[in-house]
Amino acid sequence: MSLLLLALAITTPAPHDTVRYAVTFPNPAHHEAHITVDFPAAGDTLEVWMSRSSPGRYALHEFAKNVYDVHATDRAGRSIPIVRRDPYHWLVVAERRPVRFTYTLYGDRADGTYAQIDPTHAHLNMPATFAWARGLETRAVAIRFAPPTGGGWRVATQLVPSPDPLLWAAPDLAYFMDSPTELSAFSFRTWTVSGPGGRTDTVRLALHHEGTDAELDRYAEGVRKIVAEQVGVFGETARFDHGTYTFLADYLPWASGDGMEHRNSTVLSSSASLATAFDRLLLTASHEFFHSWNMERIRAAELEPFDFTRANPSPTLWFGEGFTNYYDRLAVRRAGLMSDSAFAETVAEAVNAVVAAPGRRFNSPVDMSLLAPFVDAAAAIDPVNFPNTFLSYYTWGAGIGLGLDLTLRGRLDGRTLDGFMRLMWERFGRPVKPYTVRRPYTIADLERTLGEYVGDAAFARAFFARYVRGRDVPDYASLLTQAGFLVRPAAPRAAWAGPLSLAGDSTGTTVTGATIAGTPVYEAGLDRGDRLVSADGRPVAGQEDWTGLLAARAPGDSIQLVFRQRGREVRAVLRLRADPRLGVRPAERAGVGFTEAQRAFRTAWLGSRARP
Ligand SMILES: [Zn+2]
């Protein structure tokens, strides 16, 4: 169906099989919205759910907790009984009648997962906001927004528009749930991206902020350049379903930092502003846009279709998130919005995190991906040992992406990670029809496609065995040398005790975070909650005092520690080592030779891919 026909079919009154939502905001100061859902006639019992999870977020979020004042009526307004057997869903005794289901929603968190309703906006992540009925998932959806009068609110969303600016549509529940919506007096910028075969896509940026138009224009220009670089990798946009992609940005003191990918849009949120956090906010925009290919359309089999009633774990987040993490900064660098030195710093961060991670003793990138439901905005109140057992699939995956890209480029046969990503796009991502994924991939598909791309199945098998299913790390020093980046200990003469977070107050100094296995402070026995009494007989006033103490020492020195642990006094010897952390520096800034071959390698890697 054409999009216009779809919109007309859904938004005209005729079809009785559409699920119709209406949202009003009677109490924005207290963060309430009122929601009405008209479900068409279905079975004897209608099973109405609030989602427990939201696509792109991996923990359970139990959205039913913020729903109350729930009622069901028939078309004549007569009350229909509701039975509840668990906290997640309502059984409506429908007896084959259409059902009107109404409730109040409380929401006060603006990010990629939740909803926030207040006098400035309604920021709605759909699974956090809208109830749905089992068995009606394939029905078309129509939704009417009724903003408070006088606020100047407009609607920004990837939903299908209609001639009425407050009436929107979706072909089915999955697309509806994937379509976060911002209602506010946002600022708006738009531009087009032309692609092969005369295709043109429109990119829109709806920004709700307290900054200036000049800041918005500078930001939009940065995003435009990044979009062009990423299109350069794949040769085309991700073929947006209505030829339109929308950045929904909320940079407000009352928003929470996040970025969340969707098929034709993203939610970008932060309590910071463009004036204070421009580069970081741009990096998140880069990350989420790359997801329009890698995650939304090049999509893991475990995520498609998404099940809103449970966590949806996938063993390939090192690829979906990690490779996206690798490309977000690469695109910013290629767009000329980051220097080689700044890029080298991001590389150093990733390399240090991967090389030093104690979590690699136990878990591979595949294992780490499967831990996502416990770490991705998960909420439980008992302490976890993740500092010693977990390494983020973002970080490790970016490290794998870096290692694979530089390994492929080092083979000097023209193969690159860009080429591999483009092949993944062609085989698995590029949609055959709107709203669909061409072919969700498995981890075996990734390995096989890499082998076919390189023309060397054994290479792919070995790479996956060592670095994806295994726990090895590539030799970053030699790989980066190819591009004229030097990997050296950053501060080899500095004394190092390992990370130790301390908080001092009038009662003394407390260790506030976990200590890391294999570091001197861990080996000395210090752990979270311990009270640091003295170091070499002198009290330690807090973090700064501790840092100062170490600065005056050398690797090999010892410090006599006294601390209280669970009510008893412990005396231990802390043996300082040389700081093991690595630095990555461009050769031309390190005062060593930068060869023509290295320069050419770096230009091919970090140079612009955007079509002029
Ligand atoms: Zn991501």
Rounded to two decimals, the pTM is 0.96
Residue 7's pLDDT is what?
55
Q: What are 154's strand-pairing partners? A: 184
Give the distance (Å) from ligand 1 centre to CA of residue 540: 40
Give the distance (Å) from ligand 1 centre to CA of residue 586: 28
Give the distance (Å) from ligand 1 centre to CA of residue 298: 13
Residue the block writes with tokens 């990555």? 584
Give the distance (Å) from ligand 1 centre to CA of residue 218: 24
Give the distance (Å) from ligand 1 centre to CA of residue 287: 6
Give the distance (Å) from ligand 1 centre to CA of residue 70: 35
pLDDT in tens, 347-364: 999 999 999 999 999 999
Asked if residue 159 has pLDDT above 60, the reply is yes
What is the average per-residue pLDDT within 487-505?
96
Give the distance (Å) from ligand 1 centre to CA of residue 295: 8
- C-alpha torsion 189→216→334→179, nearest 10: -50
Give the distance (Å) from ligand 1 centre to CA of residue 178: 15
What's the mean pLDDT when you consider all of the chain?
96
Give the distance (Å) from ligand 1 centre to CA of residue 106: 27
Asked if residue 513 has pLDDT above 50, the reply is yes
Give the distance (Å) from ligand 1 centre to CA of residue 484: 29
Structural contact between residues 278 and 235, judged by C-beta atoms closer than 8 angstroms? no
Give the distance (Å) from ligand 1 centre to CA of residue 126: 18
Give the distance (Å) from ligand 1 centre to CA of residue 260: 7
Give the distance (Å) from ligand 1 centre to CA of residue 286: 10
Report how far residue 294's alpha carbon sits from residue 437's, in angstroms, rounded to the nearest whole number. 11
Report how far residue 425's alpha carbon sits from residue 429's, in angstroms, rounded to the nearest whole number. 4
Give the distance (Å) from ligand 1 centre to CA of residue 489: 30
| Sign of the dihedral defined by the CA atoms of residues 322, 247, 256, 22, in that order | negative
Residue 97's pLDDT is what?
95
pLDDT tier at 3 (50, 70, 90 boundaries)?
low
Residue 379's pLDDT is what?
84
Q: Element (H or E) spanning 489, and its range?
A: strand 485-489
Q: Among 180, 199, 197, 294, which residue's Cα sits nearest to residue 247?
A: 180
Give the distance (Å) from ligand 1 centre to CA of residue 237: 18
Residue 1's pLDDT is what?
45
Structural contact between residues 183 and 165, judged by C-beta atoms closer than 8 angstroms? no
Residue 325, SS3 per DSSP: helix
Report how far residue 425's alpha carbon sits from residue 430's, in angstroms, rounded to the nearest whole number. 6
Give the distance (Å) from ligand 1 centre to CA of residue 324: 6
Residue 147's pLDDT is what?
97
What is the average per-residue pLDDT within 446-452?
98
Q: What are phi and psi of 355, to 5 degrees?
A: -60, -45
Give the distance (Å) from ligand 1 centre to CA of residue 127: 18
What is the average per-residue pLDDT within 444-465?
98
Give the distance (Å) from ligand 1 centre to CA of residue 191: 24
Give the distance (Å) from ligand 1 centre to CA of residue 144: 30
Residue 12's pLDDT is what?
53
Residues 6+ apart with CB under 8 A from 587: 484, 485, 486, 593, 594, 598
Give the distance (Å) from ligand 1 centre to CA of residue 432: 24
Residue 138, burial from CB neighbour count under 10 angstroms (0-12, 13-18, 19+): exposed
pLDDT in tens, 414-428: 999 999 999 999 999
Give the distance (Å) from ligand 1 centre to CA of residue 415: 25
Residue the block writes with tokens 């109350």? 68
Give the distance (Å) from ligand 1 centre to CA of residue 464: 22
Give the distance (Å) from ligand 1 centre to CA of residue 320: 7
Give the distance (Å) from ligand 1 centre to CA of residue 436: 20
Residue 13's pLDDT is what?
47
Residue the block writes with tokens 């559409």? 18
Give the distance (Å) from ligand 1 centre to CA of residue 266: 10
Residue 383's pLDDT is what?
93
Residue 611's pLDDT is what?
84
What is the average per-residue pLDDT within 266-284?
98
Q: DSSP letters along 372-438, please?
A: HHHHSS---SS---HHHH---HHHHHHHHHHHHHHHHHHT-SS--HHHHHHHHIIIIIS-SSTT--S
pLDDT tier at 365 (50, 70, 90 boundaries)?
very high
Report how far residue 480's alpha carbon sits from residue 590's, in angstroms, rounded to the nearest whole number. 14
Give the distance (Å) from ligand 1 centre to CA of residue 288: 6
Of 161-175, 371-385, 407-421, give the lowest mean pLDDT range: 371-385
Report how far residue 415's alpha carbon sits from residue 420's, in angstroms, rounded to the nearest whole number. 8
Give the distance (Å) from ligand 1 centre to CA of residue 198: 30
Q: What is the percent of the chain with per-residue pLDDT over 70, rounded to a whole number?
A: 98
Asked if residue 11 has pLDDT above 70, the reply is no
Give the distance (Å) from ligand 1 centre to CA of residue 316: 12
Give the distance (Å) from ligand 1 centre to CA of residue 572: 43
Asked if residue 15 has pLDDT above 70, the reply is no
pLDDT in tens, 214-229: 999 999 999 999 999 9
Give the distance (Å) from ligand 1 centre to CA of residue 222: 19
Residue 350, SS3 per DSSP: helix
Residue 6's pLDDT is what?
58
Give the distance (Å) from ligand 1 centre to CA of residue 291: 7
Residue 14's pLDDT is what?
46
Tokens of 444: 């075996």
